[in-house]
Amino acid sequence: MPHRFLDPTALVRLGGMEFVARLVVEGFITGMHRSPYQGFNVEFAEHRQYMPGDDLRRVDWRVYGKSDRFYIKRYEEETNLRAYLVVDASRSMTYSRDRGSKLEYTCYVAASLAYLMLRQRDSVGIATVDDRVRVYIPPRATPAHMSAMLSALESIDPGADTDLGLALHELSARLVKRGLIVLLSDLLTDPDSTLKALRLLRHMKHEVVVFHILDESERTFPFTQPTIFRDVESGETLATNPRVLKASYLEALNQFVATYRDGCRAHGIDYVLMDTSTPFDFALSTYLSHRK
């Protein structure tokens, strides 16, 4: 059954891309990611399907005898990169004007990243958050895991008001292994609290990437006629003349973006601003090319 957020055309365009960890990750040395672990005993963690080029000595022949399928044994410190895709599922993400919502755009980006990471044999999981962690799927690297993550994205029910600081602190308590954390959000929450939580994740030695996703109209404020604006989270409304507000709005927006951009970069966190007018596969491939 085809999944909504896994776009075959986009995956073809992203076909040659890789998401390479820049920092030390807790994983096996494969040439793609660096690991702090070498040469000691490790415990069995999970199976994954055999892929061409795998060492046949690591095939689980007992499983083959029962299922007639080849599976590789994966060990606790031999998983490659552990990636956590953190999707903001608050009501503010449902905003849209002329195209799909920020949440839909985010889910396409998250699904594409999950696909790329699984293809390069990394473990990837997903968390959906608003003012707390709503859904948490731990990282795995098995083929069936992709379907579980896509189902989680497709079943998102936008929740309460946004409090990323609180949600990220809650999530940090679950992350016992160092890895890559990708936050996908409009960041319409308290910047001080959110940046503090992101700094905590960096202090815990995670690599962190922030995709700041806004609707094109939020970035350009194209409104010209008297308009009633409604807060999608609180329901409050404001009737105003956009022509009067535009200059001050754009100034405030630029300051808002600068606060997150500068706050992230000061602590070695990748900050990537996207808007929904840019095809998600183009925006993602541009970032991955730059990162590589």
Confidence of residue 44 (pLDDT cuts 50, 70, 90): low
Check: CB of residue 80 under 8 Å from CB of residue 139.
no
Residue 50's contacts (CB-CB under 8 Å, 6 or more residues apart) are 59, 69, 70, 71, 72
Q: What pTM was estimated for this model as a whole?
A: 0.81
Average pLDDT, integer, range 265-288 = 94
Q: What is the pLDDT of residues 191-214, one digit of tens each?
A: 999 999 999 999 999 999 999 999
Residue 129's contacts (CB-CB under 8 Å, 6 or more residues apart) are 86, 87, 88, 89, 90, 164, 167, 168, 171
Q: Which domains does the chain have, with CATH numbers?
A: 8-20+80-291 (3.40.50.410), 44-75 (no CATH)
pLDDT for the residue numbered 235: 78
pLDDT for the residue numbered 34: 47
Check: CB of residue 57 under 8 Å from CB of residue 153.
no
